[in-house]
Amino acid sequence: MIETIGFVFFGIVSITQLYIIINLYKKVDFLEQVLDGTYLTIVNTINKMKEIDTLGAFEADDEAGSTFTMLKEEIDKLENLLEDKNNAA
């Protein structure tokens, strides 16, 4: 009798753990896909930003140039974060 109760309890706990593990795996997989997509978008943005200013046509002395400089600084920060991600992986 006690063995039967133990087996039933073990079965219920096992099924519950299996459900939790599968659910968490699906969430982690989704988040990894989102992260990879975001990573590719950032890399493409960095490349386009560098392509736009290949000649250094934007000067920092006017409003458009200072805005471009600020954007470039932010892109450089993102690029450093991506390099850190690649080094950690």
Give the number of residues written for the chain. 89
Domain containing residue 31: 27-88
- The pair of three-digit structure tokens given for residue 52, joined into one six-digit string: 């736009």
For the chain, 89 residues long, give each residue's pLDDT as a single digit of tens. Answer: 889 999 999 999 999 999 999 999 999 999 988 888 888 887 788 788 778 777 666 666 677 777 777 877 887 787 787 777 666 65
Looking at residue 82, what is its pLDDT?
72
Is residue 42 domain-resident? yes
**What is the number of structural domains in the chain?**
1
Q: pTM for the whole thing?
A: 0.58
Residue 59: phi and psi, rounded to 5, are: -100, 150
> Would you say 41 and 49 are in contact if contact means Cβ atoms under 8 Å apart?
no
Is residue 13 domain-resident? no
Is residue 56 domain-resident? yes
- Say which amino acid occupies 65: G
Looking at residue 80, what is its pLDDT?
81
Is residue 39 domain-resident? yes
DSSP state of 76: H
Nearest to 60 by CA among 49, 50, 52, 71: 71
Is residue 59 domain-resident? yes
